[in-house]
Amino acid sequence: MDPYVVTIDGPSGSGKGSLALLLARLLGFSILDSGAIYRLAALKALNENVDLQDEQHVLGAIRTLDIHFETGDELTIPFLDGKDVSQQVRDEKTAAAASIVAAYPSVRTQLLAIQRDFFSPPGLVADGRDMGTTVFPDAKIKIFLNASSQIRAKRRYKQLIDMGLSANIVDLQNEIEIRDERDRSRAVSPLVPASDAVIIDCSLMELSQVVDLVMSHITDINNQRF
């Protein structure tokens, strides 16, 4: 079978990352966490103290972006300028900065090639906001994963606490809703399902049920004869 891409788009905390990880393992594919690329770019801009409201300054800071990922026991470890930044990259300040810089068209263009380079045989599972619409518009399988903001805030809270970080669930829900609104309303690559995406609301589903559903969809598509 030809190598192919599975895209998983959706709002923050919908479970895209966990789904992508499990699918990549089951399929033997590599994985792209595109949110991490935006977070690393935002962290670089924060480290350089540039004015996040100024697109040209942000672009200047990320023109030469030295990032790479290393595979740890369970998690992928992000590096910026040669340093492990797993902690900084996950915090809400970086997330908020990521959603500001991600609204700039020139920043999105700058990060496009980095994301596409993740594709290699036998295939890629790519998660983000515009994987199916902009980065991999020809992907064979496209999923849009949604869940209520309340459920997503609860999941994010648990993730942060499990990572040993502090969190407040009400603040998290507010931040998630602000970030969703910014992601949905931006002019370039807004958070919308691709026209050919399968939309799954997983508010009341276990992760294993979502994985089964998507795997059976992949099997159906792979078995289709044209």
- Candidates 95, 107, 124, 214: give the one binding ligand C5P (CB under 6 A): 95
Q: Are 135 and 127 in contact (CB under 8 A)?
A: no
Q: Are 95 and 179 in contact (CB under 8 A)?
A: yes
Binding segment toward ligand C5P, per CB under 6 A, in 57-65, 123-131, 144-152, 196-204: 123-131
| 130 counts as binding ligand C5P under rule CB under 6 A | yes
DSSP state of 195: T
Ordered alpha helix ranges (H), the chain: 16-27, 34-47, 55-62, 86-90, 92-101, 105-116, 149-162, 169-185, 207-223
Shorter beta-carbon distance to ligand C5P: residue 123 or 128: 128
Least separation in angstroms between CB 69 and ligand C5P: 14
| 183 counts as binding ligand C5P under rule CB under 6 A | yes
Interface positions, 31-70, toward ligand C5P (CB under 6 A): 34-35, 38-39
Shorter beta-carbon distance to ligand C5P: residue 45 or 130: 130
- Candidates 24, 62, 102, 143: give the one binding ligand C5P (CB under 6 A): 102
| 155 counts as binding ligand C5P under rule CB under 6 A | no
Q: How far apart are CA 115 and CA 72, in angstroms?
A: 20
Q: How far apart are CA 110 and CA 108, in angstroms?
A: 5
Shorter beta-carbon distance to ligand C5P: residue 171 or 212: 171
Contacts of 40 (CB under 8 A, 6+ apart): 65, 67, 78, 80, 85, 89
Applying CB under 6 A, which residues contact ligand C5P? 12, 34-35, 38-39, 95, 98-99, 102, 128-130, 179, 183
